[in-house]
Amino acid sequence: MSNLTPDEQRIRNALEQIETPMYDILSAVHAQRACRRAPLRLRSPQRLLAAALVGALLTVTAAAAVVQLSGGWQVLFGQDVVLPEDLAVPLQQAQTIDSCTLTLEDAIVSQNDVGIIYSLQQADGTPFPEPVDLEEVSLLIDGADRSTSSQGQTLFTDENAAKQYVYYEFELDSDPGGHTLTLSAGPAFRTELSDTLTTAIDLSAIFRTHPLRLRADEDAAALYAQQDAAGAHLPQFGALPAVSMGGVAVDDTGLRLALCTPCESAAHTLSADIVSVLDTRTGKSIPNDGSSYCEANGQTVGIRESRFLGLREEDLPFLLPQIIYTYREPVTSRAWTIDFTAASLPACNRQIDLSLPDGLQVDRLLLSPLGLELEGSQPPADDIPPAPEVQVILRDGTTLHTGSEFTGTSGSDNSNRECFTIQYYYQSDRQGRQFLSTPDVTAVRIGSTTITIAE
């Protein structure tokens, strides 16, 4: 690790006075994916209560703005969601596997994309002890995966109803209307994570048993076996298969620390990562710069290797590995597959040639009932240009605002411009998520330019 100059040390001292309290990011991420239009922090019990009450309010509000579809729309998007009649197709198709029922509730099917809501619940109606995740969710058209780059998903556990609702969007490369659509989802599993566990391992002692000094691109997985790490005891996670210290190596870029873990492809999976090292000189944790896993064919153990850029051999006596264990328990043995068909709603996919401030060039506008997307290019950005303001004008004269979802840029390796994709969702006048019928859109305003969609 590089030494700090006196100036840097003073800056560090000042910045270290900034306290950043721990925060349950995982729960917040899952909750925000549910409500996704406005970041929801889980610091307030009142807000949690409010979210739970949304489910109870369904029966009251359903008649007002939303047709009688799955209650999941409001559980997921809040009671201000606007979903015009005849946009979503009620499906209510259920399938039970290993006492776990997946119900495909509703779908919005357009020529460009499909949005679905499904729910998960235990067949006996009792709440899941922990939220469950699905290994994979895909939408097949006549048996083939035709989804392209963009997928959105949200998830929310409605504890009162013992149901877990999930919303998924699939952007497709062909019109799904009239074709057999198959939702393939699962298998289901739940994940348990340990706290960050600090070990008392002497890394320099392991390194000295057989010093591994490598090139940055050299694979060390097979070389760690030459080191003697038998005396290094790690804290274990419950009564699960053992994880042991794999080895220590240095290369041109920094330090590598390896763990021997049970085969991660096993059904009941325990994995472990050295997420950081505690520097005993400063008392601070240094996060890893990435980790990778590999296992040889037929082996029962794998190597999980974490890299720490900038750390050197001389730092080893002062570093203590910090580990997080992840345990994955299967809930179902296989995936659910549910077929359905629906006519597709119109979408609009239009080439445009629009130059905006900051050198943004918009080449394509894609409009669907779920939202709209702009594609184009921009100069390599020293600073990130703001997403253009987009408004949607409806036939009845209403102007809808939009929220931008993501500004993704691709690399600029072979040109002097970067490609971007910006996704927008429609916002109702009460700031809720709105879905709409594309033929109701007469124009889209991008910045100060209005693009006519339909006369």
Partner 1 sequence: MNAQSLEARFADGCEQALNEAVALYGQPLLRYCHHILCNYHDAQDAVQTTFIKAYDNHKRFQPGTSLSAWLYRIAYTTCVDMLRRRKLQLMSPPPAAVDPDYIGEDVRRALNTLTPEQRALVYSRVIEQRSFDALAVIYGKPAATLRKRYERARKKLAQALAGTPAERRKPDEQSHTG
- Residue 246 gets the label, from left (phi > 0), alpha (psi -120 to 50) or beta, of alpha
Q: Which of 106, 166, 164, 114 is nearest to 140 (CA)?
A: 114
Among 105, 113, 158, 273, binds partner 1 (CB under 8 A): 273
Tokens read off for 269? 């999976």
Under the binding rule (CB under 8 A), the answer on residue 286 touching partner 1 is yes
- Region of 206 (left: φ > 0; alpha: ψ -120 to 50; beta: rest) is alpha
**Which of 143, 231, 357, 386 touches partner 1 by CB under 8 A?**
386
Stretch that binds partner 1, among 117-125, 128-136, 222-230, 236-244 (CB under 8 A): 128-136
Question: Interface with partner 1 by CB under 8 A: which range of 50-58, 108-116, 135-143, 370-378?
Answer: 135-143
Interacting residue with partner 1 among 70, 103, 269, 402 (CB under 8 A): 269
CB closer to partner 1 out of 28 and 352: 28
**Positions 340 through 359 that interact with partner 1 (CB under 8 A):** none
Q: How far is the CB of 63 from partner 1 (least distance, A)?
A: 31
Interface residue with partner 1 among 56, 92, 406, 449 (CB under 8 A) is: 406
Give the residue with the Cβ less far from partner 1, 149 or 448. 149
- State which residue, 20 or 416, has the beta carbon closest to partner 1: 20
The candidate with the shortest Cα–Cα distance to 389, out of 400, 381, 398, is 400
DSSP-assigned letters across all residues of 78-90 = -TT-BB-TTTSEE
- Residue from 51, 360, 374, 387 touching partner 1 (CB under 8 A): that is 387
134 binds partner 1 (CB under 8 A): yes
Say which residues have a Cβ less than 8 Å from residue 374's Cβ, sequence separation at least 6.
362, 364, 365, 366, 388, 390, 420, 421, 422, 424, 446
Out of 136, 353, 396, 455, the residue judged to bind partner 1 by CB under 8 A: 136
Report DSSP state, residue 313.
G
Report the residue number, 148 or 450, with the smaller CB distance to partner 1: 148
Burial of 156 (0-12, 13-18, 19+ CB in 10 A): buried
Distance, CA of 274 to CA of 396 (rounded, Å):
58
Which residue carries 């198959």 as its tokens? 182
- Binding segment (CB under 8 A) for partner 1, from list 102-110, 334-342, 353-361, 376-384: 376-384
Should residue 431 be labelled a site residue for partner 1 when binding is judged by CB under 8 A? no
Total of residues contacting partner 1 (CB under 8 A): 81
Window 8-47: residues binding partner 1 (CB under 8 A): 8-23, 25-26, 28-29, 32-33, 36, 39, 41, 43
- Of 91, 405, 422, 427, which lies in the binding site for partner 1, with binding defined by CB under 8 A? 405
Answer for the pair 87, 345: CB distance below 8 angstroms, yes or no. yes
- Contact in structure between 287 and 267 (CB atoms under 8 Å): no
Residue 138 and residue 286: Cα distance in Å, rounded? 37
Rounded CA-CA distance 48/277 in Å is 35
Tokens of 311: 């750390």
Among 99, 160, 180, 292, the residue binding partner 1 under the rule CB under 8 A is 292
Residue from 235, 317, 357, 380 that binds partner 1 (CB under 8 A)?
380
Of 176, 172, 136, 213, whose CA–CA distance to 339 is shortest?
176
Tell me the three state secondary structure of residue 222: coil
Judged by beta carbon, residue 25 or residue 222, the one nearer partner 1 is: 25
Question: Strand pairing of 291-294 and 301-309?
Answer: antiparallel
CB of residue 441 to partner 1, shortest distance in Å? 24
Residue 191 or residue 244: which is nearer to partner 1 going by CB? 191
Which residue number, 30 or 445, has a Cβ lying nearer to partner 1? 30
Per rule CB under 8 A, is residue 310 in the interface with partner 1?
yes
Determine the Cα–Cα distance for residues 343 and 369; give it in Å rounded to an integer: 14
For the residues of 352-380, what is the DSSP string, one character each? Answer: EEEE-GGG-EEEEEEE-SS-EEEEEEEPP
Examine residue 328 and tell whether it contacts partner 1 (CB under 8 A): yes
**Measured from the CB atom, is 155 or 367 closer to partner 1?**
155
Q: Which of residues 205-224 bind partner 1 (CB under 8 A)?
A: none
CB of 431 vs partner 1, minimal distance in Å: 14
